[in-house]
Each structure stands twice: as structure tokens, then as C-alpha cells.
Amino acid sequence: MRYFIELAYNGNAYHGWQNQPNAISVQEVLEKALSTVLRNPISVVAAGRTDAGVHASQMYVHFDVEVLFDEKQLVFKLNSFLPSDIVIKSIFKVKDDAHARFDALSRQYLYRVSLAKNVFNTDFSYLINNELDLDKMNEACKILFSYKNFQCFSKSKTDVKTYNCDIKFANWSVFADELHFVIQADRFLRNMVRAIVGTMIEIGSGKLEVEDLHTIIQSKDRGEAGFSVPAKGLFLTKIDYPESIKLKS
């Protein structure tokens, strides 16, 4: 039997989502909790990987088990067992061939830029003192829709078959004393969102022109793009799946 778990986590204490040989990961903590509560060795497959320090307000994983259990009771038991920076939102049964990674239709990320020092969001946003031109940054967002290959925003040492991504939405908006960048695509490359944000901050601060983004993307060279913003301001916020993966109750 295959199940999906919807969870959220504060990534500050973890070396990313994926299991690491010499560092603590969200995956490791979740698998240990599942294995302990269900009294079976459990491994999970996630919708994607988040880097060290990146957060998720919505992540999905799938796991297989032959033990019968009550989904709501398991949510309660896991949340009692897990540390306070990981929370299980729901568990539901899916078709046996449903896949948390390959069946995902899109992923959405939020990046938070703080425009004023705030002791209550220091760990969850990137403080910047420069005045940014939001109109120019949103003009740059429109350019992203003209391209598919985003190698210029990818970490150079990454094992992928293609650098193509279908960006469906990208926008900057003002939220209180913060700027929020929201981007949605079918898939993302390693470090892609943080590199896009850093490049757009350089556009917004006048270090780059909006039209420079064409040259940067066409170069397929990470060295041509802007800096990578810190991980702490990045959140995986939404993953969409077809309704057909769920089992009808």
C-alpha cells in the first residue's frame, strides 16, 4: 500500500532534505520517526530536494507499507514524536504507482526579502538595505517566460539530463516591510531560485539592466548571472498533483 504524506519544516537545523552521510537531514528524521511508530523500516521518496537551510510550508513524500493504520492517528503520533521544526499535515492513501516526484505537475517557491530589520523574521528572510525598483524586477520576470533553458542559474556541478524548465508564474510584490518573490514551474534546478532572486536584486538596484537578463540566460553560464541569496529566505510553498493519484474512499 502506498501513502502520501504532506508535511512542513523549518530548514534551519538541517543540511537539506536529502539524507547525508555526515549531517542531519529532514529525510533522516522523518524516516526514523515513521520506522519507529510503524515498527517497520520505512524509506520515503520526496517531491524534490531542498538545500541546506531552505524551508518548506508544503512538501509531499510517498512511502510503502503493509501495516494497517488509521491515518489521523498516525499524524498525531508522528507529530508527538517529531521535533518541533517538522510537522505532519496529512497522510492519505494513493494508487500503488503514484509517485511524489514524477507525478508532481508543478512546484512553487517563495523568497522573502526584508526591507527593515525585524527580530522576528531574521531566520526567515534576507535583509537588504538598498532601495529596489520593483517595476524593473517585474519586467525581468516577464523575460523568464521567453526561455526554457536555465543553465545560467544552476549549480555547475549537478547531475541533470536537461536544464529545461517551464516557468509558469513569476512575480514580485510588496508585503508589509518585505518583498515577496513567487515563482512556479514544472521543475527547478539546484540553486535556481536563489540565483534568479540574486540576479533580480542586481537589476532592481541598478547594477544590471533589465535587458541584460536576455544575455545572461543565453550565455548558459552561471558566472554571468547574479549572486545567490541566502537559503534562509526560501520556502517551498506548493506542489500540485493530478487528482487521479488519490484512491477514492
Residue 222 shares a structural domain with residue 128: yes
Residue 99 shares a structural domain with residue 115: no
For residue 248, tell me if it sits in a domain.
Answer: no
What pLDDT score does 71 carry? 93
Cα 22 → chain centroid: 23
**For the whole model, what pTM was predicted?**
0.95
What pLDDT score does 172 carry? 98
Q: Are 37 and 77 in contact (CB under 8 A)?
A: yes
CA neighbor of 202 nearest in space, from 140, 122, 114: 140
Is residue 235 within a helix (H) or strand (E), and if so which, with residue range?
A: strand 234-240
Q: Output the tens digit of pLDDT for each of the chain's 249 residues.
A: 999 999 999 999 999 999 988 899 999 999 999 999 999 999 999 999 999 999 999 999 999 999 889 999 999 999 999 999 999 999 999 999 999 999 999 999 999 999 999 898 889 999 998 899 999 999 999 999 999 999 999 987 777 889 999 999 999 999 989 999 999 999 999 999 999 999 999 999 999 999 999 999 999 999 999 999 999 999 999 999 999 998 876
What pLDDT score does 104 carry? 97
Q: Are 71 and 91 in contact (CB under 8 A)?
A: yes
Residues 6+ apart with CB under 8 A from 11: 26, 50, 52, 53, 54, 55, 56, 231
What pLDDT score does 249 carry? 60
For residue 10, tell me if it sits in a domain.
Answer: yes
What pLDDT score does 105 carry? 97
> 177 an active-site residue?
no
Q: What is the DSSP string of 82-94?
A: S-TTEEEEEEEEE
Residue 135 shares a structural domain with residue 81: no
Q: Which of 81, 103, 125 is at the close of a domain?
A: 103
CATH number for the domain harbouring residue 215: 3.30.70.660
